[in-house]
Structure 1
Amino acid sequence: MQFTHTQKSVAAWCLIAALAVVALWLLAPVLTPFVVAAVLAYALTPLVNRLDSLGQGRLPRVVAVLLVEFLFIVVLLGLFLLILPIMAKELPLLREQVPLLADRLNTELAPWLAKFGFRVSLDVASIKAFVLKYLNANFEDAFGSLLSSLKLGGSVALAIMGNAVLIPVALFYLLMDWDNFVGRALELVPPRLREAFDSFTSEADSVLGQYLRGQLLVMLIMAVFYATGLALFGLDLAVPIGVFTGLAMFIPYLGFGLGLVLAVLAGVLEFASIKALVMVAVVYGLGQVIESLYLTPRLVGERIGLHPLAVIFALLAFGQMFGFVGVLVALPVSAVLLVGIRRLKASYIASRLYTA
């Protein structure tokens, strides 16, 4: 069986891609901050270039890079700080409501379950003791336990702190010289493959751009929807929980799950009635239907062409191989792989027609 020149080239590139994946898997702990910085640089470079062009040469690129990176860090900190009012509100409610909820479960739920043969009895005294021990701790005790946990898991803490410093530094240099890095990478492509390579990267860049823009729109729309829906039910923490749920959807499924757990916890502690479950069922159920059946297919799915099952598989596979970073880059990388698969399929069909 004779292979065409195009098929040999495709096979060579597939081998290179496979070797790159193996190298990434083996060096994942070391490469993680650089991979994250590269993904962020790819997403933020157009904004830096736009500011650079608006300055018409009067604004040094370093100023545009620092401004964009500063705004990005502020957005990340804002997302993180959304958790603080939730915790500040929920901890006192936990101290007050957990013993009461345990009493209600013992007096109301246990007799009902007993009718069906389920014997449930909560040790309310132990629950109250647990609450008094762990939720009534002052800030000094909490800070001391945090320090001790950092000492026990020192390597993890150092890794987190190192990445927190290294990622912004790597991002700065990548944003400064992104075009140079891309140009040097293109020089490695053989001239005879340059046309096919440019066509592939152009299509992949278009797909990734559409994915990023579509995902951002979905996040903003759902943040407004969840905040508004929870507020209509009278939840005090409607805005922080709703906005957090919407913005955390950049991690598919996981972000929605975290927001759902926070909403259930806040609703149960604040309302202490069936209203909490009704609120979560209506707002998050309707939100999931709107996001899954309308927004994501229209704004994201149709643009990158990934089936929902392919999305789930990509998240699990990349998460297994590369951890949390793999979950973040699963869909963008899958979109690029989809472009490659389309081209392989077209090449295979063309070769069959040629040999038929």
Structure 2
Amino acid sequence: MNAKHAEAKDVVNSQNVDRAQNQSSAGHAKENFSPPPAGTQQAESALAADAATFAALGTLCTPGTPESDQTCVVAVLPAATRMRWWIELTPGLRALAIVAAVVAFGFLVNALAPVLTPFMFGAILSYIGAPIVAWLVRRGIPRAAGAVFVIFAIAAFMGGLVLVVAPLVSSEISRIAEALPALLSKIQDQWLPWLNATFGTAFSFDLTQLKTLAKDNAGAVSGISAKLAGSLQFGGQILLGLIVNLTLVPVVMFYLLRDWPQLIDGIDGMVPRSIRSTVRDLAREIDAVLSEFLRGQGTVMLALATYYCIALKVVGLEFALPVGLVTGLLVFIPYVGFGLGMMLGMLAALTQFTTPGPIIAVAAIFMIGQVLEGFVLVPYLVGDRIGLHPLAVIFSLMAFGQLFGFVGVLLALPASAALLVAMRLLRRELVAEAPKPA
């Protein structure tokens, strides 16, 4: 017993034992502590030494009770000490804890998706606009004014895009609806006989009902489209509806952009000092990866929009501009931009051209664009920057889409890139902690 007591007392008297060593020996001292019998001068001095010992070790003792009832409990420890449970985990358990936390967070986000959606979009737009606000602040503009400017700039850009693209798309839909009966007749009278004669097939179906339905609804669609296309208020109404339905988005953006430095400092202050440098390194690497992703994705969108507009115009497609813009600007939604653009382009080609040559050319343009996107632009402008293998890209898109729906598809690549950065950092720590061979 005295040996155990002396061991704890020696810890206090040692001036060369640093704080980290004291914290790591706290559990050992707690197990070995047992005070001498109460009621003697030796016991009183021992209890005083014990109190100092466990104060230094980060524990609190309750002296003065019989030996059998003597208890020592863990007191309020410093932040670094409270994180010892994490530091002392084995690498396997640490990795398992990270995976479990990520999965639990994912299911929580999925359950709260309707509530989190405006906050998520506000956070994404704030992350994009934060460098612009910082640039304005460096030039003497108040941060709140810079935040308001960025919000209005983003709203004006989206509103202008709607005002330009929406009337063109509406006009194309109206024309397709009017030309659809003639197109169906051409398919039934010319293309199906040629297909059956060339490939020995026996395709045949009655298109009378489809032609009647298209003819009956063409007038209604045309009238609606003409009204929408001829009204300058169409884009403004759409923009106003978005602002009304997503009022939280600009509100979230304003507070995030205005208080961005304070939020970063607050989050940094909440991180325990023992892992603060590691968390800072992780945040810097994730920020660099996400910045590269946004720049690369923006370059891909601009390049594809330019390609589709020029290529479709060369073929002679009348609606080359709206089809090209829609296809290029929606490529940030994987496969949606290409699918929607090809559908609109092929319908426009089928209703405009009477020979198969231009129609085949339009289809070839979209095929070449998809190859350029998947094998040239995205790998070199996005994939190489964020470090994801093509198979990892495909898997992340499918997995995030299955777990989190449409929002998951949007966030699949940046979230996967951030997870990859975290795994790289964890691997570096595990390699650094691995014992070196003798």
TM-score class normalised by the smaller sequence? 0.7 to 0.9
1:136 aligns with 2:219: yes
Q: Is contact 2:346–2:363 with CA below 8 Å preserved after alignment?
A: no
Quote the residue 1:268 is aligned against.
Answer: 350
Are residue 172 (structure 1) and residue 254 (structure 2) matched? yes
Match among 46, 53, 60 for residue 138 of structure 2: 53
User: Does 2:202 correspond to 1:118?
Assistant: yes
1:33 equivalent in alignment to 2:112: no
Instruction: Name the CA distance, whole Å, in 1 between partners of 2:362 and 2:436.
Output: 58
Identity %: 37
Structure 1 256/119 Cα, relative in aligned 2: closer, same or farther at 3 Å?
Answer: closer
1:102 CA drift (Å) = 1.8
Deviation for aligned residue 1:325: 1.7
Please, which runs of 5 or more residues in structure 2 have no aligned partner?
Answer: 1-85, 226-240
Please give the alpha-carbon distance, in whole angstroms, between the structure 2 residues aligned to 1:117 and 1:281. Answer: 23
**Among candidates 211, 216, 224, match of residue 298 of structure 2:** 216
Instruction: Report the AA paired with residue 335 of structure 1.
Output: A
Q: After superposition, give the CA deviation of every residue in 1:283-316 in whole Å (9 maximum; x if it has no partner).
A: 2222222222222222111111111221122122
Gaps of 5+ in 1: 143-158
Of the structure 1 ranges 59-68 and 200-209, higher mean CA displacement relative to structure 2 is found in 59-68
Once the two structures are TM-superposed, the CA of residue 227 in structure 1 deviates from its matched residue by 0.7
User: Amino acid of the residue matched to residue 192 of structure 1?
Assistant: S
SS in 1 for 2:246: helix
Conservation of the 8 A alpha-carbon contact between 1:114 and 1:120 = no
Which whole-Å deviations, capped at 9, do the CAs of 1:13-46 have from their partners, x for residues lacking one? 5444333223212211111111121122112111
Aligned residues: 335
- The reply on whether 1:314 has 2:396 as its aligned counterpart is yes
- Listed as ranges, the matches of 1:237-252 within 5 Å are 237-252=319-334
| Partner Cα separation in structure 1 for residue 242 and residue 296 of structure 2 | 30
Larger Rg: 1 or 2? 2
Q: Is the contact made by 1:268 and 1:276 (CA closer than 8 Å) also made in structure 2?
A: no
- SS of 2:360 mapped into structure 1: helix
Match status 1:254 vs 2:339: no
- Tell me whether 98-107 or 270-279 shows the greater mean CA deviation: 270-279
| Cα deviations by residue, 1:223-276 (Å, 9 ceiling, x for unpaired) | 111111111111111112112211111112222221121111211122143234
SS in 1 for 2:388: coil
- Of 20-29 and 202-211, more deviation after overlay is shown by 20-29
Superposed CA deviations along residues 181-208 of structure 1, whole A, max 9, x for unmatched, are 2222222211100011111111111111
**CA–CA distance in structure 1, aligned partners of residues 304 and 124 of structure 2:** 24
Whole-Å separation in 2 of the counterparts to 1:138 and 1:46? 44
Task: Choose which of 346, 351, 361 in structure 2 pairs with 1:279.
Answer: 361
The answer on whether the counterparts of 1:101 and 1:272 sit within 8 Å (CA) in structure 2 is no
Could you tell me which amino acid in structure 1 is paired with residue 218 of structure 2? L
Taking structure 1 as the reference length, the TM-score comes to: 0.84
SS in 2 for 1:251: coil
- 1:117: how far off? 4.3
C-alpha root-mean-square deviation of aligned residues, in Å?
2.8
* Structure 2 residue corresponding to 1:87, chosen from 170, 180, 187: 170
Read off the aligned partner of 1:278 and give its amino acid letter: I
* Residue aligning to 1:188: 270
- 2-side partners of 1:272 and 1:353: how far apart? 74
* Amino acid corresponding to residue 84 of structure 1 in structure 2: P
**1:345: which partner in 2?**
427
**Aligned match of 1:155:** none
Larger helix proportion of the pair: 1
In structure 2, relative to structure 1, the CA distance for the partners of 1:110 and 1:14 (3 Å cut) is closer
